[in-house]
Amino acid sequence: MRGIPSLITDIRKNVFTEVARMAYAGGDYSGIEDLPYKIVPGDQPLHRESIFLERAIAGERLRLAMGLGIRPIQTRTLMTEGMDAAAVAEQYYEPPLINIIPYACHACPTNRYQVTEHCQNCLAASCQRVCPKGAISFVNGKSFIDQDKCVKCGKCASACPYHAIIHLERPCQASCGMDAITSDEHGKAVINQDKCVACGQCLVSCPFGAIVDKGQIFQIIQSILKGDQVIAIVAPAFIGQFSGKVSPAKFVAGMKVLGFDRVVEVAIGADMCTIEEAKDFLEKVPAQQDYMATSCCPSWHSMIEKLYPSEIGKISMTLTPMVFTARLMKKRHPGCKVVFVGPCAAKKLEAIRADIRSDVDFVLTFEELQGMFEAKEVDFDALEPDADALTEGTSAGRGFAVSGGVAGAVMDLIHQKHPDLEIRTARAEGLRECRKLMALAKAGKYKGYLLEGMACPGGCVAGAGTILPVDKAAKLVDKYKKEAVTGSPLESPYRETGEHLD
């Protein structure tokens, strides 16, 4: 559903816009009680059975956008409950990051095969013949599946010549590569937070918009208004997310209208990461370990930590591009606040780690940033391009945004220094495929390899906080790569560690 405008995307944008507007108005959050009526106006529901239910859901979305938790449904609680502590620039959101609003969940059917009206009552009755459990019979002239007997093998669906049997699967559950989503006693989806790695794929897969991540829009604007030097470090996947007409120079100008002091591309951190991971690989594989896994995707890292703890030491110890860039900004601008702007929900989880919190103060997705642009009524057509455009990242660093970009950059860099050295790589995108990759690595199938894992199918351009369709975003990143002034991380002004490759 990503990249397809819908009522869900409209509501999300409206929520982010209203939170940003409230923050820019001076930070008085007492008016939040009125916002559900603004987001869901009139006296008729838009898509649910009750306008009161729609407003209740909008209220929870507003709270989550401000980093607050979902209110218990059993007791009466004001929307402003807990906001005194949360609505300040220094506040981090508390886990869980990804949340399901129970009364927004449709209780979708989970993993069942169902006969549709296209059944022709054919003489062959192939569906019945192939069923290993005798779960299918004719009822009222149509095939009928006894769900108590069905073992979900799918043979009936494959055998039906009319494709009259469909597989129904809860979209959020199907998208979760960690199998972290189950059902409660009412059939509502619930997230096992011990398994969740905050990739956010369930968030963009739910057709009812019941899954929501927490945000920091309000807190970022509070930091800007109180006079902090707030620096935005922007992931390369930003290109084109706010219309193809918004050039990097126009984007920087728009960010300064929002109050950001300066804008820096995270591609420079990706270049530093490339240099360090190349060094890491040459030192450790195969002398110290069989293979090395890249470090950049926080959900990939968390997946290994949860499911393959014996392999955790084989992830590169290199910092992620976000952290490299943030630390560089903190060093150059003491006392500044750093906001990572990117496509990824999992970066919010990475940023609240104890060893990262002092480097990255806030995380903002492209969707959330779009709400800030709307709140400030930024007209990109009327803006003068900013002279301080994003020009320091190399094409290799910008390529981190797409699947294969990290391993490709590391491999190319090693070949620049050691052209005759054979480097083997393997990659996976989507957590189910990442799990298969790691199972084979643990079994010794990838000796001498560099492994890249991306939780989102397609890479960062498919992150839960993106706006564009994945294929279009990938093409725009490819074009952005070609526009880079330099190609190799060794040409970057931040290449100090590159000599270690010798």
First-to-last alpha carbon distance for the chain, in angstroms, is 46
Write out the E strands in 73-210: 98-100, 112-115, 136-139, 142-145, 165-168, 181-183, 189-191
Characterise 121 by phi-psi region: left (phi > 0), alpha (psi -120 to 50), beta (else).
left
Place of tokens 């930070």: 27
Q: Which two tokens stand for residue 166?
A: 């469909």
Strand-by-strand arrangement of the 424-429 sheet: 292-293, 449-454, 424-429
- The set of residues, in sequence order, having a beta carbon less than 8 Å from that of 192 and lying 6+ positions away, is 180, 181, 182
Pairwise CA distance, residues 79 & 68, whole Å: 10
Question: Can you give the pLDDT at residue 355?
Answer: 87
Question: Can you give the pLDDT at residue 1?
Answer: 61
Averaged in consecutive runs of 10 residues, what is the pLDDT profile of the chain (502 residues)?
84 97 91 95 91 96 94 88 82 85 94 95 96 96 95 97 96 97 95 97 96 96 96 97 90 98 97 96 96 96 97 96 96 97 95 90 97 97 90 96 97 94 95 98 97 96 96 96 93 66 40
Pairwise CA distance, residues 166 & 4, whole Å: 24
C-alpha distances in Å from residue 492, one per residue of 101, 237, 252, 325, 501: 45, 19, 21, 13, 15
Question: Can you give the pLDDT at residue 171?
Answer: 96
Place of tokens 């591309």: 265
Strand-by-strand arrangement of the 262-265 sheet: 262-265, 230-234, 337-342, 362-365
Question: Can you give the pLDDT at residue 89?
Answer: 76
- The set of residues, in sequence order, having a beta carbon less than 8 Å from that of 72 and lying 6+ positions away, is none
Question: Can you give the pLDDT at residue 28?
Answer: 86
Helix (H) or strand (E) holding 36: helix 35-39
Q: Which residue ranges form the domains of the chain, and what is each CATH number? A: 7-101+172-219 (3.30.70.20), 112-168 (3.30.70.20), 228-501 (no CATH)
Question: Can you give the pLDDT at residue 86?
Answer: 80
What are the helix (H) ranges across 285-381?
298-307, 321-332, 346-351, 366-375
